[in-house]
């Protein structure tokens, strides 16, 4: 378990040895080792808070190590800023691409480095031609003259990769690049990463998805609590062993599903349709039941959830809660009827990142916690403490901005906000996206407990193991329609994927 992994057959391109980084009294990195080899993809894994983001920002030049050594091609490397990292051939692609939406694709790629002609005039023709060549190297077709606005997340990331190639990047850091991609888009991205490795580049891949890690990467480095734990060849490891190293313990069950007594129907959706988005969607969810909406990205699952909750209107159909019709287009009435919606995008739609943990945890209960129009601080704090304790939210203090928490703890705060309304029906979209394996197990345990308490849970998930591990029934959507319903006993990877791709449908 040496930093360079046993049996290394070529000299590393980039080495970090004993790197430390602290922010005040908090040690974010403690003696971290990392060796990236040319022609290889190397995974960096760890729980939220393990130090992965700090390490990425160190490689990007945003942070300077307090102690330790960095070397490139065997020579000392000092990065005083992002420009130094780019000059050294290090490029970082983040989970959320950072493009200028109103500029063209080519302008985004060559921002600040546009080819010039004459007296400081941008040579647009040459810039577009150079962008086309970059996309040819990547084996993709994107019009360099089109605005970045409207590009899919996958294409935005390809633009970021093209930008990295334009810097002649030899080291590509991919930080959770697949979180919002479909299976086809993930495979295309992996094809690009493999082609870069074939040309001698080194790829550092950060992901919570173990199937992707084991598919793409030749080595895996594990961090825990800011410290290096191990580096080994992927072929010598199992998922269980990686998980044990990440969390420092056995995760006894990632999907601790309890058998809950099934009660009466609480949510009934009949013939729900919205032109061009979804059509004739019908299903029921009973108390004590977890029903999963499965399908590929773009199948219409999130759109159905938003329509049921009243965020978006629908053209036809009906939603009934405990037998009573729910008026469309009114989240306020949905909440009053006992619905709660945990959205897919917790940062943009679930939280106000600048507000405190306690304020976010009670946002949906403001009226109940107020007297004569004034919020009662003591009541707000007591309510926040109640739910953050139950959900085991890890925060230095409840008055800290929620944006300072890890992704997993932010997700728990969103859950706390909606559970504080004491709902009868919980709609939860991508409950564990972007959170570490230990927190996943905690969220799954909570969902199972809530179902056991009688809640009806509609869960939308793109992670097939999560669907199979937690759902009592699986509803598979394809191109805006529910095409198959599977019991827990009937559902397996093959049956779900066949239906999700339009094959084997029975509905």
Q: Report pLDDT for 376.
A: 64
Phi, psi angles (nearest 5°) of residue 265: -70, 125
391 neighbors 420 (Cβ within 8 angstroms): no
| pLDDT the model gives residue 7 | 45
pLDDT for 260 equals 87
Residue 353: pLDDT band (50, 70, 90) is confident
- Per-residue pLDDT tens for 443-471? 898 899 999 999 999 999 988 888 999 99
219 found inside a domain: yes
- 142 inside domain: no
* Structural domain contains residue 34: yes
Dihedral of the alpha carbons of 246, 248, 249, 255, in degrees to the nearest 10: -30
Q: What percent of the chain has pLDDT over 90?
A: 47
pLDDT of residue 305: 95
> Please, which pLDDT band fits residue 310 given cuts at 50, 70 and 90?
very high
Q: Read off the pLDDT of residues 172-184 as tens digits, 9 standing for 90 and up.
A: 998 887 766 667 7
Domain end call among 248, 283, 317:
248
Q: How far is CA 71 from the centre of its chain?
A: 31
Tens-place pLDDT, residues 20-74 = 999 887 788 999 999 999 999 999 998 767 889 899 999 999 999 999 999 999 9
61 lies in some domain? yes
Say if strands 219-224 and 121-122 run parallel, antiparallel, or are unpaired: unpaired
Residues 351 and 458 in one domain: yes
Q: What CA–CA distance (Å, rounded) separates 180 from 328?
A: 28
Residue 481 lies in a domain: yes
Residue in 344, 287, 335 with CA at minimum distance from that of residue 309: 335
Per-residue pLDDT tens for 368-407? 666 666 666 677 788 888 888 888 888 888 888 888 887 7
Residue 9 clears pLDDT 60, i.e. is over it: no
Q: What is the pLDDT of residue 439?
A: 78
Same domain, 298 and 236: no
Q: Clarify whether residues 273 and 188 are in a common domain.
A: no
**Mean pLDDT score of the chain, rounded to an integer?**
87
Token pair for 320? 């009934």
What would the DSSP string read from start to end of 345-411? -IIIII--TTSBHHHHHTGGGTTTTEETTEE-HHHHHHHHHHHHHHTT---S-TTSBGGGS-HHHHH
Share of the chain above pLDDT 70, in %: 92
Check residue 150 and report its DSSP letter: T
Question: Rounded distance, CA 415 to CA 82, Å?
Answer: 36
Count of structural domains within the chain = 2
How far apart (Å, rounded) are the C-alpha atoms in residues 214 and 445?
A: 26
pLDDT digits (tens, 9 = 90+) for 89-134: 998 887 777 889 999 999 999 988 888 887 778 899 999 999 999 8
Residues 160, 237: one domain?
yes
412: nearest Cα among 442, 382, 379, 368: 442
Is position 355 within any domain?
yes
Instruction: State how far the Cα of 440 lies from the Cα of 185, in Å rounded to an integer.
Output: 24
Query: Does 301 lie in the same domain as 186?
Result: no
209 and 80 in a common domain: yes
Query: What mean pLDDT is predicted for residues 322-343?
Result: 94
Decide which of 248, 272, 289 is a domain's last residue.
Answer: 248
Alpha-helical (H) ranges within 295-356 are 301-309, 331-337
Length of the chain: 507
Task: Supply the pLDDT for residue 298.
Answer: 77
Q: How many CA atoms lie within 13 A of 491 on its CB side?
A: 25
Of 217, 248, 279, the residue at which a domain comes to its end is 248
Alpha carbons 21 and 171: distance in angstroms, whole number: 21
Q: Quick one: average pLDDT of 7-15?
A: 77
- Interval 272-290 mean pLDDT: 96
Q: Encode burial over 88-101: b for 16+ CB neighbours within 10 A, e otherwise.
A: bbbbbbbbebebee
Could you tell me if 376 and 440 lie in one domain? yes
Check residue 502 and give left, alpha or beta (phi > 0: left; psi -120 to 50: alpha). Answer: left
Domain, as residue range, for 407 = 264-501
Is 128 a member of any domain? no
pTM of the model: 0.62
> Greater confidence, 9 or 385?
385
Q: Is residue 281 part of a domain?
A: yes
3-state helix vs strand vs coil in the chain, percent to 5? 35, 25, 40
Decide if pLDDT at 245 tops 50: yes
306 and 381 assigned to the same domain: yes
Output DSSP code: residue 73.
Answer: T
pLDDT attached to residue 347: 78
Q: Are residues 311 and 182 in the same domain?
A: no
Tell me, yes or no, whether 275 and 239 share the same domain.
Answer: no
**CATH number, domain at 212?**
3.40.50.300
Do residues 234 and 329 both lie within one domain?
no
State whether 228 and 339 are in the same domain: no
């Amino acid at each position: 378990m040496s930093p360079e992994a046993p049996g290394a057959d070529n000299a590393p391109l980039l080495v970090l040895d004993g790197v430390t980084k602290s922010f005040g009294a908090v040690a974010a990195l403690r003696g971290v080792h990392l060796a990236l080899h040319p022609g290889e993809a190397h995974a960096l894994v760890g729980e939220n808070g393990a130090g992965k983001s700090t390490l990425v920002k160190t490689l990007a030049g945003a942070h300077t190590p307090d102690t330790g050594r960095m070397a490139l091609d065997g020579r000392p490397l000092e990065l005083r800023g992002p420009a130094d990292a780019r000059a050294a051939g290090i490029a970082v692609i983040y989970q959320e691409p950072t493009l200028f939406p109103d500029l063209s694709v080519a302008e985004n790629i060559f921002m600040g480095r546009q080819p010039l002609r004459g007296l400081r005039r941008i040579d647009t023709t040459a810039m577009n031609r150079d962008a086309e060549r970059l996309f040819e190297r990547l084996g993709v077709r994107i019009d360099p003259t089109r605005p970045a606005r409207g590009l899919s997340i996958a294409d935005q990331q390809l633009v970021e990769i093209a930008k990295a190639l334009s810097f002649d990047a030899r080291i590509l850091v991919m930080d959770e690049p697949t979180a919002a991609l479909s299976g086809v888009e993930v495979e295309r991205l992996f094809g690009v990463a493999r082609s870069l490795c074939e040309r001698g580049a080194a790829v550092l891949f950060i992901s919570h998805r173990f199937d992707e890690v084991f598919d793409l990467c030749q080595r895996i480095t594990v961090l825990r609590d800011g410290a290096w734990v191990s580096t080994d060849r992927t072929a010598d490891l199992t998922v269980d062993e990686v998980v044990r190293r990440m969390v420092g313990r056995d995760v006894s069950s990632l999907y601790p599903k309890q058998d809950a007594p099934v009660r009466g129907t609480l949510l009934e959706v009949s013939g729900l349709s919205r032109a061009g988005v979804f059509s004739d969607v019908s299903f029921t969810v009973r108390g004590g039941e977890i029903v999963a909406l499965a399908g590929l990205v773009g199948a219409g699952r999130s759109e159905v959830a938003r329509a049921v909750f009243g965020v978006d209107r629908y053209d036809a159909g009906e939603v009934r809660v405990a037998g009573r019709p729910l008026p469309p287009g009114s989240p306020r009435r949905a909440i009053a009827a006992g619905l709660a919606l945990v959205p897919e995008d917790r940062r943009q739609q679930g939280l106000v990142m600048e507000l405190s943990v306690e304020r976010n945890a009670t946002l949906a209960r403001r009226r109940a916690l107020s007297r004569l129009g004034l919020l009662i601080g003591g009541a707000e704090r007591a309510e926040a403490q109640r739910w953050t304790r139950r959900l085991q939210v890890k925060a230095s203090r409840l008055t800290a901005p929620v944006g300072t928490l890890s992704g997993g703890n932010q997700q728990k705060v969103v859950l706390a906000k909606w559970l504080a309304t004491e709902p009868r029906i919980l709609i939860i979209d991508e409950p564990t996206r972007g959170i570490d394996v230990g927190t996943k197990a905690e969220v799954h345990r909570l969902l199972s407990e809530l179902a056991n308490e009688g809640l009806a849970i509609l869960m939308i998930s793109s992670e097939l193991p999560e669907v199979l591990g937690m759902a009592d029934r699986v509803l598979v959507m394809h191109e805006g329609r529910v095409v198959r319903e599977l019991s827990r006993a009937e559902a397996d990877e093959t049956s779900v994927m066949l239906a999700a791709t339009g094959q084997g449908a029975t509905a």
